[in-house]
Amino acid sequence: MFARRILFAAIWALLWRGQPVSAAGLFPFVLPWDDAGPSVANASGWLDKPAGAHGFVTARHGHLFAGKNRIRFFGVNLTFGANFPAHADAEKIAARMAKFGINCVRFHHMDTRIAPDGLVQQDERTLDPEMLGRLDYFIAQLKKNGIYADLNLHVGREYPGFAKWQGGPTYFKGVDNFFPPMIAQQHDYARALLTHTNAYTGMAYANEPAVALVEINNENGLIDEWNKGALDAMPDPYSAEFRRQWNEWLAKKYGSSEKLASAWNQGAEPLGAEMIRGGIGETDSGWNIEKHEGAVANVQLIHEESNGQPAEFAKITVVKPGTEGWHVQANYPGLQLAAEKSYTVAFFAKSTDPHKIRVAAGQAHAPWQVAWSSEVALTPEWQRFHFVFVPADADMNMRVGFADFGAAGADASLADVSLRPGGIEGFPTAEKLGEIGVFQKKEIGSRAPAAQRDWYRFLFDTEARYWTGMRQFIRGELHAQSLVVGSAAGYSPWPIQAMLDVVDAHAYWQHPHFPHRPWDMNDWSIQNIPMAGAPDGGTLPSLALMRVADKPFIVTEYNHSAPNTYSSEAFLELCAVAALQDWDGVFAFDYSGRRDHWDERRIPNFFDIDQHPAKMATLPAAVALFLRGDITPPARRHVVEMTLEDAIESVRKGGFRSTASAYGIQREETFEHPVAMRIGSVENPLSPAAKSSRSPIYSDNGELEWDSVSHRMLVRTPRSAWIVGALHAGKTIDLGKASITPGATIQNWATLTATVMEGADFKTARRLLITATGYAENTDMHWKDAAKSSVSRDFGKAPSMVEGVPASITLPLAGKYRAWALDERGARKSEVPLKTGNGTLTIELSPEQKTLWWEIAAE
């Protein structure tokens, strides 16, 4: 209820959740890990070989070029030990990747683990010779097959010699943006890797044209980590260095304490009258204790000797938790809050066992938008918490409250909850220039607007100096000729990332949720729902709205996490929107993260796609749409501009991951035509447009349809015809030159694609690839609930099992054609009869054919 995203997921789940499906009718289907044989599904002919044959990839006119021609990347990630296959395996993996149209590999998490699962030795500084040799040979094999490399420099190294602190950011994120010794270690690693000469190509990586991209620091940003509160408890020497740089910045701007005080005293607001009339648990206090989805919680009003601590407090104990943190909550509704006015929330809290709860302010009515929230860590000792927030919009019925109380047996004691207007302090008389403390996230709201603006501009300038400085080191000192990517926009503000060569973004549909301990494989869930036709477009609009005009745009991490049984939609949807939006690259996360374990013959985990039969089978069709350009980007573009000052101000107001939606572009537009944003001279940026509820949404060129009523995406192009999403058995769907009549499926859902592999269009096609995917799981996969939201550690065993999708597909083909069901290598297995007449051809797909793909070929 406090999180709009969680509410949407719950509603979407209700639309789809039914009785548990039966695995009856599934059949084994395993795509061999080492197959690169010729077949209609082999897309390697679309790749220029060797990679880098036309020189280094360059950025021109806002796009990527290889020589005189544009190049797009359909890439994959490799993680941990999978970056270093044995030589014999490397040859087969590279050839197989090329078969599926993969033309770039992002070498990710090479630095996170010690060899042989990583590139570094025990000292976390020295590159391991054996792993480096394996990497060299693999990159040489990729190059030979027309596959470029994206080398990641820092992902998961912890910087040896420096101590972490409790609650600090993972991998020292944010800290390594400003702390000189850590930046020096990044220089050392980059120098060692990029100046190393590959023994199999004879080229140093800095001079290797097959290295298309060098990425500085994954999902990392000073502003992001500070906004999370991860730097609030930062100890020395990191805090001392941060404070030194802050005071140096202030001295450069103001020159004296008097000028600083004059600026920061503007906008101070004393505290106003109390707005909450009673305590939690008191009769007629106005507080609500809400329990949803079967959650059970008790509230006790306790009186104790105060001894300087709260004498009366409410103890909330969770007897049975819900499936989401907001399923147990205490809230105080009916509050009238004004826009752009400060409010102070204060309270005492403790818990028997340490855990975190969330305090928030937001709408007390649909759509339950959150105005502000913060996570607080409770301990057995009383603590007083104090926050100041500023709502962006006024509302006559707001509420403050608490949620995320935890698992069964968890408790939280709350006392003296207060909400008062005001609470903005001016320049403290005890402070002076040169000794100003760094601002903490939890107290930033109590600072005057001028002080806040200075702080955010300091963060912005400091972070921008890091990214541009690293780029200068890579390109200037190391003389690397590859394009430089900073980090994914969102983790670092887009105006900063636009200072680099290429802008990147990441997204996942139904990323695994770990409610208690990060990456606890015994305790996780994934919403088992499809994205096709999602009312808000799912992940795709959020990505499109990150695009920066006049810069190449790539998405280096994307997936629909297994074991979601609808996840074969992932790369079809991604490539359709990427082609429509005219992006430059998309990457699956990931191909594999398993060292020397390539022949799993089952879906291995959340992310690895190399052995996911339904995801891999859709890749040739997806790649045709994106690499080959089967969807033509519409001529109309919508580009919005804002000043740099306005962009930084949006960061200050809580929009540090703000996108083009803040400046007038609707999410629905991303299915119609390309959208982007840029820094310009506009002094009064557009206000967000009113949300539209139209459905279906059609692209300007009519080639893409997003239908949130029928819950599906349709593609109609001269060489591709698709259905992705909900089906109605026996109901024909018109796809322009083609039509598809699906039969009954396990989930009333499937992906069905027809792709011309040889020929200019459907009428002149010489060879076509048909794919049909639906439900998929592993043998003996043990679901933990009827909603199929988790299998815990039990992903099952080989072989992977898939559903046969029945359908009748009619194509505008005249003449003599034959058709075959294909085996797991894409080779012809058994002939399928065709029906012809009136200049059309119809193929009947049947579960009895036990395949996910078919070939139609002219005689």
Domain count, the chain: 1
Is 386 a residue whose pLDDT tops 90?
Answer: no
For the segment 653-659, the average pLDDT, to the nearest whole number, is 68
Residue 708 has pLDDT above 60, yes or no: yes
| Rounded CA separation 847/842 (Å) | 17
- Say what the pLDDT of residue 25 is: 82
- Residue 662 — pLDDT band, cuts 50, 70, 90? confident
Q: What is the pLDDT of residue 446?
A: 85
Which H, E and C letters describe 384-405, residue by residue?
EEEEEECCCCCEEEEEEEEECC
3-state SS class at 774? coil
Burial of 118 (0-12, 13-18, 19+ CB in 10 A): buried
Give the Cα separation of 296 and 422 in Å (integer): 36
CA distances from 448 to 338, 341, 419, 818 (A): 18, 12, 19, 75
pLDDT in tens, 1-27: 333 333 334 434 433 333 333 455 899
451: left (phi over 0), alpha (psi -120 to 50) or beta: alpha
Name the residue with higher pLDDT: 353 or 481: 481
* Domain range enclosing 300: 288-421
Q: Looking at residue 171, what DSSP letter applies?
A: G
The type of residue at 793 is: R
Note the pLDDT tens digit of each residue in 192-236. 999 999 999 999 999 999 999 999 999 999 999 999 899 999 999
Structure-block tokens of residue 81: 């030990």
Q: Is 742 helix (H, G, I), strand (E, B) or coil?
A: strand
First to last CA, the chain: 60
Amino acid occupying residue 62:
G
pLDDT value for 17? 37
Per residue in 296-307, pLDDT (tens digit) is 999 989 887 766
Q: Which of 854, 624, 817 is nearest to 719 (CA)?
A: 624
Query: CA distances (Å), 433 to each of 437, 447, 462, 591, 760, in order?
Result: 10, 16, 19, 52, 70
Residue 657: pLDDT band (50, 70, 90) is low
pLDDT at 688: 46
Print burial letters for 468-481: b (CB count within 10 Å at least 16), e (below 16).
eebbebbbeebebb
Rounded distance between C-alpha atoms, residue 852 and residue 39, angstroms: 14
Environment class of residue 333 by beta-carbon count within 10 Å: exposed (0-12), middle (13-18) or buried (19+)?
Answer: middle
Write down the pLDDT at residue 714.
Answer: 98
In whole angstroms, give the CA distance from residue 708 to residue 695.
6
683: confidence class by pLDDT, cuts 50, 70, 90: very low
> What are the strands, taking DSSP E only, across 673-774?
675-679, 697-698, 704-707, 712-716, 720-726, 733-735, 738-742, 749-758, 767-773
Q: Which of 418, 426, 213, 183 has its CA nearest to residue 310?
A: 418
Output the pLDDT for position 24: 57
pLDDT at 682: 58
pLDDT at residue 91 is higher than 70: yes
pLDDT for 134-177, tens place per residue? 999 999 999 999 999 999 999 999 999 999 998 899 999 999 99
Q: Check whether 344 has a pLDDT greater than 80.
A: yes
Mean pLDDT over 695-707 rounds to 95
Whether the per-residue pLDDT at 839 is higher than 50: the answer is yes
CB within 8 Å of 34: residues ≥ 6 apart: 89, 92, 93, 96, 598, 599
Structure confidence at residue 45 (pLDDT):
95
> Where do the H-state alpha helices sit in 359-506?
449-472, 494-497
Tokens 């002080």 correspond to 451
One-character DSSP codes across 88-109: HHHHHHHHHHHHTT--EEEEES
Residue 332 within any structural domain of the chain: yes
> Could you tell me which residues come within 8 angstroms of residue 785 by beta carbon, excluding any fewer than 6 positions away?
none
Question: Rounded to whole angstroms, how far apart are CA atoms 91 and 640?
Answer: 46
pLDDT of residue 580: 98
458, 379 Cβ separation under 8 angstroms: no
Domain assignment of residue 304, yes or no: yes
pLDDT value at position 322?
Answer: 83
Contact 385, 349 (CB under 8 A): yes
Cα–Cα distance list, 402 to 331, 375, 612 (Å): 6, 10, 41
pLDDT value at residue 466: 98
| Residue 499: other Cβ atoms inside 10 A | 13
Residue pLDDT, tens place only, 281-339: 888 889 999 899 888 999 989 887 766 678 789 999 999 888 788 899 999 999 999 98
Residue 665 lies in a domain: no
* Average pLDDT value for residue range 623-636: 95
pLDDT value for 1: 35
Domain contains 851: no
Q: Which residue has the tokens 């009718």?
A: 25
Selected residue with higher pLDDT from 557 and 515: 557
CB-CB contact of 604 with 567 (8 Å): no
In a domain, 390, yes or no: yes
Q: What's the burial of 432, exposed, middle or buried (CB within 10 Å: 0-12/13-18/19+)?
A: middle
Question: Which tokens in the block code for residue 564?
Answer: 């979601």
758 has a pLDDT exceeding 80 = yes
pLDDT of residue 12: 40
Q: Contact at 8 Å (CB) between 746 and 776?
A: no
Residues 579-622 pLDDT 10s: 999 999 999 999 999 999 999 999 999 999 999 999 999 999 99
Q: What is the model's pLDDT at position 304?
A: 79
Q: How is residue 636 written in tokens?
A: 């109309």
pLDDT attached to residue 719:
96
Asked if residue 630 lies in contact with residue 720, where contact means CB atoms within 8 angstroms, the answer is yes
Mapping DSSP onto H, E and C, the string for 536-584 reads CCCCHHHHHCCCECCCCEEEEEEEECCCCCCHHHHHHHHHHHHHHHCCC
- Residue from 493, 327, 312, 497 nearest 410 by CA: 327
Give the angle 543-463-389 at the CA atoms, nearest 5°: 75
Q: Beta-carbon neighbour count of residue 492 at 10 Å?
A: 29
Assign residue 406 the CATH number of its domain.
Answer: 2.60.120.260
Share in percent of the chain as helix, strand, coil (round to 5): 25, 30, 45
How far apart are the C-alpha atoms of 756 and 164, rounded to whole Å?
A: 55
Residue 292 CA: distances (Å) to CA of 234, 281, 296, 621: 37, 18, 8, 43
Whether 296 is in a domain gets the answer yes
Residues 6 or more apart in contact with residue 254 via CB below 8 angstroms: 260, 263, 433
229: phi > 0 → left, psi -120 to 50 → alpha, else beta; which? left
How far apart are alpha carbons 756 and 345 in whole angstroms? 61
Whether residue 514 is predicted with pLDDT greater than 60 in this model: the reply is: yes
The answer as to whether 414 is a domain residue is yes
C-alpha to C-alpha distances, 764 to 632, 721, 722, 738, nearest whole angstrom: 19, 15, 18, 13
Question: What pLDDT sits at residue 656?
Answer: 54
User: Does some domain include residue 622?
Assistant: no
